[in-house]
Chains A and B, each alone.
Chain A
Amino acid sequence: MDTVLQLLVESLFLGTFYAFMSLGFSLTWGVLNIINLAYGSYIILGAYLAYTLHIYLGLDPVLSLPLSFTGGFLLGLFFQRFLMNRVMNLEPFMVLILTFGLDIFIANALNLIFRADIRSIDVPYAERSHLLGPLIITEVKALVFVLSLILTALVYLLLHRTWTGRAIRAVALDREGARTVGVSPEKIFLITSGIGTGIALASGNLYGVLQGFTPFDGGMLTVKAFLVSIVGGLGRVESAVAGGLFLGVLEVFTGFYLGEGWKFFASLIVMFLFLILRPRGLLGGKYYGET
């Protein structure tokens, strides 16, 4: 019983992080109908940014979160303006190829700068853990959980309580309809891409605290963001939370009962089945990318 309880807590912690991590991927897919295969590399980019700031300026990755988000926001604007805008009218699979090329490029650029060694951000609280009744709570995991929860809530507030957020949701539902009521979809695409990439880099900070990373870990993270978006549905915070928690439970339990090696396989098979049986996901609806 204690084991199951411990696993459930681990699932909750990991799942909440996955929910936040995948929000950007899910948002750009839902609103822009762009599947960004370079998304995982954005996350790794964020992890290396936090790593560099920690090494040279002694900045804690939690404190550099706003920096990562801002850097990601600008990068997202740049990519949208100069790359994605040009291919949005082409067949969707061209975008898959383009972003995969981008993924190869970013991973190899990072490899050139940092080499392929596993890096980790050595925060002073890295090894600390506490006993809470029958549970063992690792400080790092708890910290990432709390931060992910706060940041996810912030994104929810942004989407539901601000004019920009409502405009983003309007564009996701109906591009032409949004245009008739005075929302410019092109501007919303830029902002959404900025926010999405910002979320990716910011979650890279958290990922870097959570575990070691190499330049080539992006692909695996993209697949995770994929699974979260497909299981939950696109573009909504509640969908990402549902998908994230699902992935958390799936990974923690298969990892424990079947072995670490089967974790990724289980995720992929579930993703395959969801795509065939229920491509809209658990909470999916009528967003642009879901038609």
Chain B
Amino acid sequence: MGRHDLVVLAGLLALSILPPFLTDYLERVITSALLLASLALAQNILLGYTGYPAFGSVAFFGVGGYVTAVLMKDLSLPFPLALLCGTLFSGLLALLIAPPVMRLKSHYFAITTLALQLALGELVANLEVTGGAQGINLPIYRGPGGYLIFYYLFWTLTLVAFLINAYVERSTFGYALKAIREDEVAAETLGVNTLLFKTASFTLMALITGCSGGIYAYWITYIDPTSMFDPVLSVKMFVALLMGGVGTVGGPVAGAFVLEVVSETLWGQFPRVHGLILGLLIVLIVLIIPKGIWRRR
């Protein structure tokens, strides 16, 4: 980890003692930023270290959220158990589809995952068990701590994802991923089992993304296909990643916080044109800083 990454880690740790000083509004903004950070960190394992852009990674956000919600509502499972199932189910799905999907390169890989995301969104919109297009109402959390619990859940997830990224950065596992990113054929020639490592990277991404979706579902208490499989969320995550710096440990977190603060400030001021500004912001960021605010290794 470089100096920048340690600053981000310190900031992240400081967030754990911040809640007593926060207004409800700020608490919500930071929770959203942490959510975005967890997604960006998950994608970073795949895009940043392995070089595969999963444009539709939000598919696993939706799957994690829906599995958690359905288990809580239909089987009355307690939240921790439901969340665990949602997370594992996302990982399992990723494990199954990774081998065929990860034979594709670059934008073909990107759009295949996007097709998967939209297809799953349409599937849950048509199934009865998922409440169709109307979506699902979850029980409201009334335990100790109130909504602060979600702040800490997302905080924990982000911290775990951060540590996984830090591990990938310096471990043999990570070196194998980076070898695939730089030159897949060469990595294969040198004896790296590329399929195994690509599948592991994809599954890791899906586990974190799915867990994030599960927490989100309980936090927001009402989910529908449009909000859980939203391509806008994918793009926001990518923009956060690009702003922070792809392939760095701290970058995704920094990018997520900057983007969330910027869009919240604009949101509050010009609610009528926020979509317009978001679109413009995305275009400008790709044009101005295609390599991220910081650096790229």
Contacts and interface: CB of A to CB of B under 8 A. Distances in A.
Contacts of B118: 223, 264, 268
The binding surface of chain B is classed by DSSP as helix
B286 interface: yes
B276 A276 contact: no
Contact of B110 (A96, A108, A111): A96
A83 B55 contact: no
Contacts of A32: none
Contact of A101 (B55, B106, B272, B279): B279
B275 A268 contact: no
A30 to B, nearest CB: 13
Interface string A223-240: 100100000000000000
A154 interface: no
A261 B121 CA distance: 12
Interface in A47-94: 83, 86-87, 90-94
Given A105-B276, A112-B273, A275 B55 contact: no
B283 A112 contact: no
Interface string B106-118: 1110111001101
A252 B283 CA distance: 36
A138 to B, nearest CB: 27
B282 interface: yes
B55 A93 contact: yes
Interface string B239-279: 10010000000000000000000000000000011011011
Interface stretch (B122-130, B151-159, B182-190, B207-215): B122-130
The binding surface of chain A is classed by DSSP as helix
Interface in A237-275: 261-262, 264-265, 268-269, 271-272, 275
A165 interface: no
Contact of B107 (A35, A219, A271): A35
B281 A101 contact: yes
B231 interface: yes
Nearest to A100: B235
Nearest to B282: A101
A199 B150 CA distance: 48
Given A93-B55, A96-B107, A105 B119 contact: no
Contact of B111 (A87, A91, A97, A275): A275
B290 interface: yes
B100 A276 contact: yes
A108 B106 contact: no
Contacts of A111: 275
A91 B279 contact: no
A275 B238 contact: no
B283 A102 contact: yes
B17 interface: no
A104 interface: yes
B106 A264 contact: no
A100 B55 CA distance: 11
B84 interface: no
Contacts of A112: 272-273, 276
Contact of A219 (B231, B239, B283): B231
A226 B115 CA distance: 10
A268 B119 contact: yes
Contacts of A92: 106-107, 110
Contacts of B280: 101, 105
Contacts of B272: 112
Contacts of A93: 53, 55, 106-107, 110
A97 B106 contact: no
A88 to B, nearest CB: 12
B75 interface: no
Nearest to A226: B111
A123 interface: no
B101 interface: yes
- 5 A-B pairs with the lowest CB-CB distances in the bound complex, closest first: A101-B282, A105-B279, A108-B275, A104-B279, A268-B119
14 contacts: A83-B287, A92-B106, A95-B107, A96-B53, A96-B111, A97-B282, A101-B278, A101-B279, A102-B283, A106-B279, A112-B273, A262-B122, A268-B119, A276-B100
Interface of A: 35, 83, 86-87, 90-98, 100-109, 111-112, 219, 223, 226, 261-262, 264-265, 268-269, 271-272, 275-276, 279
Given A106-B279, A261-B126, 19 more contacts: A93-B55, A93-B107, A96-B53, A96-B111, A98-B283, A100-B231, A100-B282, A101-B235, A101-B280, A102-B283, A105-B275, A107-B275, A108-B278, A108-B279, A268-B122, A272-B112, A272-B119, A275-B115, A276-B100
